[in-house]
Chain A
Amino acid sequence: GAVVSQHPSRVICKSGTSVKIECRSLDFQATTMFWYRQFPKQSLMLMATSNEGSKATYEQGVEKDKFLINHASLTLSTLTVTSAHPEDSSFYICSASPSGRVVWDTQYFGPGTRLTVL
Chain B
Amino acid sequence: AQTVTQSQPEMSVQEAETVTLSCTYDTSENNYYLFWYKQPPSRQMILVIRQEAYKQQNATENRFSVNFQKAAKSFSLKISDSQLGDTAMYFCAFMKKSGAGSYQLTFGKGTKLSVIP
Where the two chains meet, the residues of A that have a C-beta atom closer than 8 Å to any C-beta of B are 32, 34, 38, 42-44, 46, 49, 91, 93, 95, 97, 105-109, 111-112
Contacts and interface: CB of A to CB of B under 8 A. Distances in A.
Interface residues of B, number: 20
Interface of B: 33, 35, 37, 42-47, 50, 91, 95, 97, 103-105, 107-110
A49 B35 contact: no
Contacts of A91: 43
Given A32-B103, A49-B104, A105-B103, 8 more contacts: A34-B104, A38-B43, A46-B105, A49-B103, A107-B105, A109-B44, A111-B42, A112-B44
Contact of A43 (B46, B103, B108): B108
B5 to A, nearest CB: 11
A43 B110 contact: yes
| Interface of A (DSSP majority class) | strand
B44 A105 contact: no
